[in-house]
Amino acid sequence: MNDRFLRACRRQPVDCTPIWLMRQAGRFLPEYRQLRQQHPMLEMIKTPELAVEVTMQPLRRFDLDAAIIFADILPPVEAMGIQIEFVKGEGPAIGRPIRGMADVERLVLPAAEEIAPYTQEAIRIAARELADRVPLIGFSGAPFTLAAYLVEGGSSADYALAKRLMHQEPAAWHSLMEKLAQLVGTYLRAQVRAGAQALQMFDSWVGVLSPADYREFVLPYSRQALEMAQDSGAPVIHFTTGTTGMLETIREAGGDVIGVDWRVDLGAAWSRLGPEVGIQGNLDPLTLLAPLPKLRERAAEVLRQAAGRPGHIFNLGHGVLPDTPVDNVRALVDEVHQQSKRP
Amino acid sequence: MNDRFLRACRRQPVDCTPIWLMRQAGRFLPEYRQLRQQHPMLEMIKTPELAVEVTMQPLRRFDLDAAIIFADILPPVEAMGIQIEFVKGEGPAIGRPIRGMADVERLVLPAAEEIAPYTQEAIRIAARELADRVPLIGFSGAPFTLAAYLVEGGSSADYALAKRLMHQEPAAWHSLMEKLAQLVGTYLRAQVRAGAQALQMFDSWVGVLSPADYREFVLPYSRQALEMAQDSGAPVIHFTTGTTGMLETIREAGGDVIGVDWRVDLGAAWSRLGPEVGIQGNLDPLTLLAPLPKLRERAAEVLRQAAGRPGHIFNLGHGVLPDTPVDNVRALVDEVHQQSKRP
């Protein structure tokens, strides 16, 4: 088994820098789009055989150092009694958004085996298939990002409704976050029991908050979920975007590795995070649409900033974009391995 | 004349912290909305008497320390031969977006008096009316934000077209930015000649870039525009959002005062920017929709972070939101003045 990725998560020396890409299992691959024409999104996620197939697709094409299970951050909340649907072109939506304490009180706390059982099953199958190749990453949305979805009913430009609930009904907000922290922690642990060897918690929308709001309304719950996940023994990546003004605070919430977006120099980010943590990132996904010389130049800059320190996992600063050329992804993966070879 | 704001721009001691709010002349005021029902957006901007009326409206209600001319960042590009229109509910749009070198070559470099002459006239009138009250701020979009609009044709989630032009046709990109830097610098200087006593350059969308892309494709042009503006002798505020991962780089581009959004603690931002520069910000605009005790608490935190150092201008981290209660704005303005009183 190629254990470069797991070693880097633990800040152990590696032969070259490991690389995987957020959304590597997905939209930019022709074979994925072909499958999607035959199956709606929720069916893809809820049919373990399909989810495993999509998980494997990028590994057949590229020399990636980790697989990530094909899933979505929202379906696990169905186990709390929430109905979700995927609206074409608009992403996931919530049938009846959470707008106050009464809605929060209705949310149930499910047992581990009830949370996205199809994804847990997909992990069991994929982990067996991958046993001699690369580690499998399980993942979950973070409590804030899930709460923001549940309150807004979908994605949003400014998450005004989520912030209003936070400020105007703090008791309802804290109660919602408490339940979501339990859900996320329980679900992440269950994925390790199913066979995932590393975990990532996505707090994709938390960058809309001020550090003061983050500390008061989010940090304790992210910490709780991360600590529950780390109890499993698997390394945990804590990924956020738009938070480069408060990396120190994100780190305080926890995680073995901090995933950073492209809005900061990787070296500057690592200096601020300190040496006790690994770092994942951080190429702008749009760079994969640039001509190859520019792509290579920007990738080399990221590697130079990491300076060969143990604990760097190469990745994008966010997910691969749908119109990314497949050949550019191959070039990036190979370039990172070659450029970062240790003697 | 209340010169608290101008003194703070120059980092001179003040009796209390000055405050003004981005978009204080605009959508959240009932008297503005009433006027807008009778006049389309471009007519409001292009009729100096209407623009002056809107500029004055917030000063009649609140004890603000500066006025900002009512205008928009896009109309000045009309002088380059570009057609713009305001689509209801969607903001400004470009008739024929810039997509390559041929489009860039068609752009003309106008004389100072040809750039948004109606706004220059509005500044002349407003500056006379305000002479014994508060200073008037003139403003412009920054070269990148204007370029992003011109290439995308409107606003965008990821500015993929702008980034593609940058990477795939760098000569066209640099030529476009060179022309826009000239336009912005010329326009900002003209506003001071018309009577503006301070300037703000808005780079509202530049936070989509990596520091590497910013340094290569943006910084030289922002610097050129800021230096031209500073030639006027008026202090210049350099405002950006989403750039809290590269504040040091933003500062390198220039400005007497750096405007920061709410995604960073003001104290941490100022430490990174260093003592040779003023700072403007940085309350989350959504906080104005919170109950008064929470609004006061968050405002006090911003003031505490500034620690009474000369050079702080209190503001939001971005514009006032349309559904902000008028009474909350009054409470904030008065609170900032009272809480920051120097003995």
Taking the model in full, what pTM does it have? Answer: 0.96
Give the pLDDT confidence score for residue A85 in this predicted structure: 84
Q: How many Å apart are CA B319 and CA B150, to the nearest integer? A: 22
Q: Nearest by CB to A263, which of B160, B210, B284?
A: B210
- The packing angle between helices B48-61 and B117-130, to 10°, is 40
Q: How many Å apart are CA A340 and CA B7, to the nearest integer? A: 52
What proportion of chain A, given as a percentage, has pLDDT over 70?
99
CB A256 within 8 A of CB A278: yes
Q: Of the listed B65, B72, B203, B256, which one is catalytic?
A: B72
Q: How many Å apart are CA A270 and CA A258, to the nearest integer? A: 9
- Tell me the chain B residues in contact with residue A163 when contact means C-beta distances shorter than 8 Å: 284, 286, 289-290
Which has more confidence, A187 or B93? A187
Chain A CA closest to residue B299:
A212
CA distances from A315 to A29, A49, A149, A335 (A): 17, 27, 25, 13
* Gyration radius from chain A CA atoms: 19
Chain A CA closest to residue B241:
A242
Quote the tokens at residue B24. Answer: 């204080």
Q: Nearest by CB to A263, which of B245, B283, B317?
A: B245
Q: Of the listed B36, B124, B133, B272, which one is catalytic?
A: B36
Q: Per residue in A17-41, pLDDT tens?
A: 999 999 999 999 999 999 999 999 9
Give the pLDDT confidence score for residue A262 in this predicted structure: 98
Give the pLDDT confidence score for residue A92 in this predicted structure: 80
- Tell me the chain A residues in contact with residue B298 when contact means C-beta distances shorter than 8 Å: 210, 212
User: N- to C-terminal Cα distance for chain B?
Assistant: 21
Burial environment of residue A3 by CB neighbours within 10 A (0 to 12, 13 to 18, 19 or more): middle
- pLDDT band of A161, cuts 50, 70, 90: very high
pLDDT tens for the 343 residues of chain B, in order: 999 999 999 999 999 999 999 999 999 999 999 999 999 999 999 999 999 999 999 999 999 999 999 999 999 999 999 999 887 777 788 989 999 999 999 999 999 999 999 999 999 999 999 998 999 999 999 999 999 999 999 888 889 999 999 999 999 999 999 999 999 999 999 999 999 999 999 999 999 999 999 999 999 999 999 999 999 999 999 999 999 999 999 999 999 999 999 999 999 999 999 999 999 999 999 999 999 999 999 999 999 999 989 999 999 999 999 999 999 999 999 999 999 998 7
Quote the tokens at residue A225. Answer: 């979920």
- Tell me the chain B residues in contact with residue A286 when contact means C-beta distances shorter than 8 Å: 158, 160, 163-164, 167
* Gyration radius from chain B CA atoms: 19
Task: Identify whether B149 is a catalytic site residue.
Answer: yes
Q: Domains for chain A: give ranges and CATH numbers.
A: 4-71+117-145+196-339 (3.20.20.210)
Q: Where are the alpha helices (DSSP H) in chain A?
A: 4-9, 30-38, 41-46, 48-61, 101-106, 117-130, 143-152, 160-168, 170-194, 211-217, 219-230, 247-253, 266-273, 292-306, 326-339
Q: How many Å apart are CA B66 and CA B127, to the nearest integer? A: 11
Q: Per residue in A207-247, pLDDT tens?
A: 999 999 999 999 999 999 999 999 999 999 999 999 999 99
Quote the tokens at residue A169. Answer: 């009904």
Q: Per residue in A286-332, pLDDT tens?
A: 999 999 999 999 999 999 999 989 999 999 999 999 999 999 999 99
Chain A CA closest to residue B318:
A158
Q: What ipTM does the predicted assembly reach?
A: 0.94
Give the pLDDT confidence score for residue A157 in this predicted structure: 82
Question: Residue B288's closest CA among B254, B247, B319?
Answer: B319
Chain A CA closest to residue B164:
A290
Range in A76-90, A251-265, B18-32, B60-74 with the lowest mean pLDDT: A76-90
φ, ψ of residue A139 to 5 degrees: the values are -155, 165
> Pseudo-torsion of CA A127, A128, A131, A133, nearest 10°?
-70
Task: Identify whether B36 is a catalytic site residue.
Answer: yes
- pLDDT band of A57, cuts 50, 70, 90: very high
Q: Strand, helix or coil at B290?
A: coil
- The residues of B whose Cβ lies within 8 A of any Cβ of A are 158, 160, 163-164, 167-168, 207, 209-213, 242-247, 261-265, 268-269, 283-284, 286-287, 289-291, 294, 298, 301, 317, 321
Contact check, Cβ <8 Å, B163/A298? no
Q: Tell me the HSE value of B80 on the side-chain side, using a 13 A CA sphere.
A: 30
Chain A CA closest to residue B270:
A245
Q: How many Å apart are CA B151 and CA A28, to the nearest integer? A: 24
- Tell me the chain A residues in contact with residue B263 when contact means C-beta distances shorter than 8 Å: 207, 209-211, 242-246
Quote the tokens at residue B56. Answer: 């004055």
Give the pLDDT confidence score for residue A88 in this predicted structure: 73
Give the pLDDT confidence score for residue B86 in this predicted structure: 80
CB A107 within 8 A of CB A82: yes
Residue A103 contacts by C-beta under 8 Å, 6 or more apart in sequence? Answer: A96, A97, A172
Give the pLDDT confidence score for residue A342 in this predicted structure: 86
Q: Per residue in A94-126, pLDDT tens?
A: 889 999 999 999 999 999 999 999 999 999 999
Chain B: nearest CA to A71, how far in angstroms?
23
Contact check, Cβ <8 Å, A164/B298? no
- The residues of A whose Cβ lies within 8 A of any Cβ of B are 158, 160, 163-164, 167-168, 207, 209-213, 242-247, 261-265, 268-269, 283-284, 286-287, 289-291, 294, 298, 301, 317, 321
Task: Identify whether A72 is a catalytic site residue.
Answer: yes
CA angle B73-B77-B79, nearest 5°? 135
